Amino acid sequence: MQQHPEWIAYLLFILDLAIRIGLSLRILMRSNMVGVTFAWMTIVLAVPYLGALLYLLIGERRLGEHRTWRARKVIEQSIHWRSTLYEHASREPVNIPARYQSLDQHARKIIGFPSLPGNRLTLLSDYQSIFRELINDIKDAQTSCDLEFYIWEAGGLADELLEMVLEAHQRGVSVRILLDAVGSKNFLRGTPAKRLRKAGIKLTDALHVNALLMLFQRADIRNHRKIAVIDNRIAYTGSQNLVDPRYFKQQAGVGEWVDLMIRIEGPAVTVLKHVTEMDWSVEARETGNFSTRTISMQRAGDLPVQVVPSGPVFREGAMHQLMMSIIYRAQRELIITTPYFAPDEALLEALVTAANRGVDITLVIPARVDSLMIRYATPALLHGLLEAGIRVAQFDAGLLHTKSISVDGEFCVVGSVNTDMRSLWLNFEISLFVYDEEFARQIRELQASYISQSRFIDSKQFLQRTFPQRLGANIMRLFAPVL
């Protein structure tokens, strides 16, 4: 039987060409940001078949038809709760400095939660104090304990917390645990999860993935939030996962992870509880408790706080918009700490513009990161910042995982959002906007302590890197919009 391999090659060529043209048109017609569109077209056109497969798997914000339907239902069910919260908030004066009132309005319009007065915030800047405070609060829990985290991994203080959760459940506390299916895969498959389920504790994974589901939903959209709510009275959020840095990713060669959490008392706890209720309702497929009786405006302090959740079920690019707003609001000083720095051109231009109008900007990033792509993409993105006079400090005392922004020592943002496109556009994240000069000063002092453990990049030396170094970094820069 005569074979015609040339016909097979011809058909493969035609198929590849059709796929590239078809997907390129689809990418163009989706009207994404220019950087994202260009990055995906580069991947699809430059890499036969594999580029198309990558785009089909992670190129669009697909949550899956059923999860999207459930999320919409939950949002509908919570509309009355939100409107009642606004009614309560309208009766409580919030002392927000005049030049930040438009930011408050921006966040409330695109996210849906108002700033609330009367909060007390406690800054916890090391993992020992974070775990000790959280364990003590769970020990004192009387009615409920909700934990929603990207990663829970066994070892050290994370095991002590597990024991306290089991003890709380045994004495009648209602415990619910929501963990990201990818970030916490080892925990969910291991003995700790079996112990929790055997004890009768409600434990479920967020954004479950498998080979079949990957055809219908993106596997890399993750629930990156870190939230604990106890008795609807105390809450925690920030950047710390339920991991003990002494045991976590020791083989990565980046040192211990450095994080912060905020312990919250006051009306903001109500909103964080509502966020966990919505997420639990979607992932556990249970009817959420959106009774307006769960709304508490009981004051615990004087701080105005705005809870800002973000993710695919909110307005697209909401956190990106707010980040731009924050940068343009800076007049004297802007300090950003982030473990993963891979913004798009709009954010880079905003930073350069702020520097050119006289804002003193410091970017603090880890000297070593656990992401290979970020490790090679970030240097190319720093070039224009250094030329504009922005100082870039590389933290040497471990992997700086804290995500924080301070503006003019008057306003600050803390939470789970990295300065990369995945956090700003894709993942489910949580942030606190704190409109208080005293608390912003505390964040500013913590950032200063990070800077004291860092070394600044020498701009002259950096800009004189060899051609191969610059070429490799600039190639990786093309893919920064999709990292």
202 counts as catalytic: no
The residue count of the chain comes to 483
231 counts as catalytic: yes
Return the structure tokens found at 110.
């695109």
Nearest to 131 by CA among 315, 280, 259, 306: 259
Q: Which member of 205, 273, 401, 436 is catalytic?
A: 401
* 353: CB partners within 8 A, 6+ apart: 328
8 A C-beta contact, residue 301 and residue 266: yes
Q: Which member of 104, 146, 408, 420 is catalytic?
A: 408
Q: Which member of 180, 205, 231, 244 is catalytic?
A: 231
Long-range contacts of 183-189 (CB under 8 A, 24+ apart): 183/149, 183/150, 183/151, 183/222, 183/223, 183/224, 183/241, 184/149, 184/150, 184/151, 184/152, 184/153, 186/153, 186/154, 187/151, 187/152, 187/153, 187/154
8 A C-beta contact, residue 435 and residue 408: no
Integer Cα distance of 313 and 85 in angstroms: 20
SS3 (DSSP) at 289 = coil
Integer Cα distance of 64 and 211 in angstroms: 13
Integer Cα distance of 115 and 93 in angstroms: 10
Among positive and negative, which fits the CA dihedral 165, 166, 172, 177? positive
Q: Which member of 224, 274, 320, 383 is catalytic?
A: 224
Q: What spatial distance separates the first Cα and last Cα of the chain, rounded to whole Å?
A: 49
Q: Which member of 104, 146, 205, 226 is catalytic?
A: 226
R_g of the chain computed on alpha carbons:
23
Report the catalytic residues: 224, 226, 231, 401, 403, 408
